[in-house]
Chains A and B, each alone.
Chain A
Amino acid sequence: MAFTAALDTTIAVVTPENIEFKYQLAGPFRRLPAYLIDLIARWSFLLVLWIGGALLLGLLDLSFLGPFALAGGLVFYFLVSWFYGAVCETFFNGRTIGKWACGIRTIDIDGRPISGKRAVIRNLLRVADLAPIAAMSQWDPDIPPIFIIPTGMAGLLSMAFTRRLQRLGDLAAGTMVIIDERTWRVPTTRVDDPRIPALASYIPAGYRVSRSMARTLAVYAERRHHLTPARRREVTRHLTVPLIDLFEFRSDIDPDLLMQSLYYKTFLAESQLDQPDLGPLAGYSPLKRDSKTPPPPTSVNAIPTPSLVQQASTIGAIAVGTDPTGTTS
């Protein structure tokens, strides 16, 4: 089990619907900005309240309420600085303002939502996670005690050594922080190149794409636009050389084009039986045995653009190096 487990920072959760789905865990570099945003939010909240309270008292001339306001302010400061996170996470379903901004959420390690008690524990223990505090006064005794820099080493070490990237507070509360972003798009891959259906129609009908091959094809189709044409040929050649032999294609077929054709045949073609409308490319064959016969001249005349003629005349060599068609969107 330990050997087969993926190295990714994902965690699987089994729901009551008996579905196992994966969460991506949030690491320190996503959680630190969230914490800093929370810090700013907390202080600006207190500042606004303080200014508002002072203005209200000053305007209404309620100076006899001053001490009560001061005491209330102190108690409020205490509550906000210790329980801001716990209250936010309980009422906003595992999120504080900073977590909302950074697209992360706190949940139970079983994938269930966080409960109030757990939220209190993990937020109280943040003090221990921020330890040790940098002793600035060691270097310069004149530094006022407000410049207390928590180094956060305890929490960082704990996150580094636990599988769910939990800090000490998370460990004690049994929670973890996962990425829960608002927008995810379905990655769609379209095939625009007319040569692809043409080539796909020559792939023997008896060839069955295996499951791992299908996955490879899908990954390749989704990611190929990140690669340069030369790199595409390089990474796909290992896979396509045996396939070209198997399909008895000409050996100068563009490997990238062949991969896309396989992808098209596996995932996109309406039916295995339908013959695609080859249009101007009709009559060209990638097969090795057909490479001796010249292409029919009629179709050359039918094609308006000369560049396509040139490409179409040798469906293999042509495609090599000239593949400007983006097939992904």
Chain B
Amino acid sequence: MNVAVILEKRRAQWAELETLCDAMETRGRTDKTRQAHHRGAAGISRFSTLYRAACADLALADAYQLPPGTVTYLHHLVGRAHNQLYRANQFDPSRWSDVLFREAPQQIFADPCVRVATLLFFGLFVLSMFLAKNEALFPDYATSIVGQEALESMEEMYKDPINTKSLDHYVTMAGFYINHNTGIGLTCFAYGILIIPCLFNLAWNAVYLGAVFGYMARDGVTGSDHFFHFVTAHGPFELTAIALAAGAGLRLGMGLIYTAGLGRIDSLRENAMRAVPVMAASAVLFVCAAFTEGFISPSPLPFTIKAGWAVVSSGLLSFYFVILGFPKESLTMRQPAAVFADGMYGDGRAA
């Protein structure tokens, strides 16, 4: 049998497979070809038959001595059909709670990168706050970090007592904070793969916020009380969220450096998979912080309630990190078992 005959015989089926691929492009339904025998289950089974036939043609291309152009065509055709047969996994919302309440805290508890990021952030924050507050020793520190204009506008902003009663303002500001702060967190995470920009971002946020806090804590600054009245409620959520985002980002970057025996790229991939739950937790915290900052912080509620909310949110975070995150027995048990199984497999292969 020569090539021309084979091609003539097969071309009709290849063309049919192509039309089916076209039809399945958007949602994976074969009905769109508008042919009776492509509807429903019959269409799917027809597609898989044609796909297997094309695979067989490709496998036998060498034996048939098909021309290279035809082989290239078959590669494209099989590749296209393969992409339609094995389609992307959709998001599975039923797993999200598992990611958020089991994987994320476990990972956060065990992850040295999160510890480093948290220590760096809060260490620099406290240091910067101390430097900015100590007017006698470092009189120009706050001004040089934040800038004179920004400090003055800050004082101007908190000159009056916090007393916003308009719901409109709350809602709008919550939306704004979700957009702005979560965006900063995600940027910090993404830059983690390059390590330095992530650390810079984290450190800059810590130093800047610390300088503002320290300056406002000075005696004799107008609006000092109102400032702390405003920031207390959402502080725990927001500051933790930034540190977590940077921790997740650093996990990416460290994956490139500390490979734990894997190839560099494989290690990066592994670490990225582990970083995602942490980033998801951070994003949720950002949203919680945004709602607090939008609705509770600017409200005329007494300071006791706001401070109480800060205490409650800190307690919730501690519960999340420590109780949910404490290494579970089942997890620690699984580790040696897996090693043992590998050993058995290896022995079996050797024998």
A residues apposed to B, CB below 8 Å: 13, 15, 17-19, 21-23, 66-68, 70-75, 77-78, 81-82, 89-94, 105, 107, 111-117, 119-121, 124-128, 131, 154, 162, 168, 171-174, 178, 180-189, 211, 214-215, 218-219, 221-222, 266-270
CB-based nearest B residue for A164: B265
- Is there an interface contact between A173 and B28, defined as CB atoms closer than 8 Å? no
- Nearest A residue to B283 via CB reads A82
With a cutoff of 8 Å between Cβ atoms, the chain B residues found around residue A189 in the complex are 67
Residue of A nearest to B78 (CB): A21
Using A82-B183, A127-B187, A172-B269 as known contacts, say yes or no to A116 and B175 having CB atoms under 8 A apart: no
Q: Which of A23, A128, A168 has the most CB of B within 10 A?
A: A128
Q: Are B265 and A171 in contact (CB under 8 A)?
A: yes
Q: Is B26 an interface residue (CB 8 A)?
A: yes
Q: Using known A-B contacts A182-B22, A184-B77, determine if residue A168 contacts B193 with beta carbons closer than 8 Å.
A: yes
Residues of B within 8 A of A116 (CB): 88-92
* Among B26, B69, B168, contact of A92 (Cβ-Cβ < 8 Å): B26
Smallest beta-carbon distance A77→chain B, Å: 6
Jot down 18 A-B pairs with beta carbons below 8 A, ordered by A.
A15-B55, A17-B55, A23-B75, A67-B167, A67-B172, A90-B88, A93-B28, A121-B272, A125-B190, A172-B268, A172-B271, A180-B80, A184-B72, A186-B11, A187-B69, A218-B68, A219-B68, A267-B2
Contact present for B2 and A187 (CB under 8 Å): no
Task: Enumerate chain B interface residues (CB-CB to A < 8 A).
Answer: 2-4, 7, 11, 14, 18, 22, 25-26, 28, 51-52, 55, 58-59, 62, 65, 67-70, 72-80, 82-84, 86-92, 167-169, 171-172, 174-176, 178-179, 182-183, 186-187, 189-194, 197, 252, 255, 265, 268-269, 271-273, 276, 279
B70 touches A186 (CB 8 A): yes
| Given contacts A19-B78, A269-B2, A186 and B272 within 8 Å (CB-CB) | no
Tell whether, in the assembled complex, residue B76 and residue A71 are in contact, meaning their CB atoms are under 8 Å apart.
no
Which of these, B62, B76, B168, contacts A181 with CB under 8 Å? Answer: B76
Question: Contact at A93–B58, with CB atoms within 8 Å?
Answer: no
A10's nearest neighbour on chain B, judged by CB, is B75
**Nearest Cβ on chain B to A37's Cβ, whole angstroms:** 17
B interface, over-half SS: helix
Asked whether, in the complex, the Cβ of A186 is within 8 Å of the Cβ of B90, the reply is no
Cβ-closest chain A residue relative to B266 = A174
> Chain A residues with Cβ under 8 A from B22's Cβ?
182
A188 to B8, CA, bound (A): 10
In the bound assembly, the distance between CA atoms of A115 and B273 in angstroms comes to: 12
Q: B88 — which chain A residues lie within 8 A by C-beta?
A: 89-94, 113-116, 119
Are A78 and B178 in contact, with the CB atoms below 8 A? yes
Query: Are B68 and A128 in contact, CB atoms less than 8 angstroms apart?
Result: no
* Docked-complex contact A21 and B91, CB < 8 angstroms: no
The 4 closest A-B pairs by CB, nearest first: A71-B175, A218-B67, A67-B168, A187-B69
Given contacts A21-B78, A111-B82, A113-B87, 7 further A-B contacts (CB under 8 A): A67-B172, A70-B175, A71-B175, A92-B88, A131-B197, A189-B67, A222-B69
Pairwise interchain contact A68-B82, C-beta atoms closer than 8 A? no
A71 touches B272 (CB 8 A): no
How far apart are the CA atoms of A77 and B176 in the complex, in Å? Answer: 10
How many whole Å from B62's CB to the nearest CB in chain A?
8
User: How close is B71's CB to chain A, nearest CB, in angstroms?
Assistant: 9
Residues of B within 8 A of A222 (CB): 67-69
A91 to B65, CA, bound (A): 39
Give the interface centre of A112, A127, A162, A222 by most chain B CB atoms within 10 Å.
A127
In the complex, residue of chain A having the shortest beta-carbon distance to the beta carbon of B15: A186
Tell whether A19 pairs with B55 under 8 Å between CB atoms, given A74-B175, A267-B3: yes
Instruction: Determine if B2 and A270 form an interchain contact, defined as CB atoms under 8 angstroms apart.
Output: yes
A75 / chain B contacts, CB cutoff of 8 Å: 175, 178-179
In the assembled complex, the Cα of A182 lies from the Cα of B272 at a distance in Å of 32
A211 touches B73 (CB 8 A): no
Give A163 to B174 CA distance when docked, in angstroms: 45
Whether B189 pairs with A124 at a CB distance below 8 angstroms is: yes
Q: Which residue of A lies closest to B182 (CB)?
A: A78
